[in-house]
């Protein structure tokens, strides 16, 4: 998985993910979230458009990041995966109702 991070105005950040978000890749994502929150970001937009697969470990990393963002007074916004199989995981777990999910970056 490829992870790209951009921090904006020190209180918000965008993470773009490409590839598989699974048990192998989730620890690296958790580290990125920790660095972002340590830098003072409160609101994080996670672009999942390029994610082709997500498992429970990937979902857990996102849930933890959402909790951390909300604890800091911010939030975590997800841009929906374009891949139908990846999006189906959010629907089956009903996490599409837990997270604020938008269709594209402009809506975040």
What span, in angstroms and rounded, lies between the C-alpha atoms of 103 and 36?
Answer: 23
Give 42-82 pLDDT, tens digit per residue. 999 999 999 999 999 999 999 999 999 999 899 999 999 99
pTM across the whole model: 0.93
pLDDT recorded at residue 101: 96
Q: Do 23 and 50 form a contact (C-beta atoms < 8 A)?
A: no
pLDDT recorded at residue 105: 77
Largest CA distance in the chain: 35
pLDDT recorded at residue 104: 85
Token readout for 27 is 């620890």
Per-residue pLDDT, averaged over 26-48, amounts to 95
Nearest to 100 by CA among 29, 40, 61, 43: 43
Token readout for 59 is 């979902």
Provide the mean pLDDT of the chain.
94
Catalogue all structural domains in the chain, each as residue range(s) with its CATH number: 2-100 (3.30.750.24)
């Amino acid at each position: 998985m490829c992870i790209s991070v951009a921090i904006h105005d020190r209180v918000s950040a965008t993470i773009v993910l490409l590839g598989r978000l699974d048990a192998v890749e989730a620890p690296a994502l958790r580290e990125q979230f920790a660095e972002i929150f340590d830098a003072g970001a409160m609101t994080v937009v996670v672009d999942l458009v390029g994610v082709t697969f997500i498992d429970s470990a990937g979902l857990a990393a996102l849930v933890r990041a959402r909790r951390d963002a909300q604890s800091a007074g911010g939030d975590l916004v997800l841009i929906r995966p374009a891949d139908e199989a990846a999006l189906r995981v959010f629907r089956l777990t009903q996490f599409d109702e837990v997270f604020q999910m938008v269709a594209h970056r402009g809506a975040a």
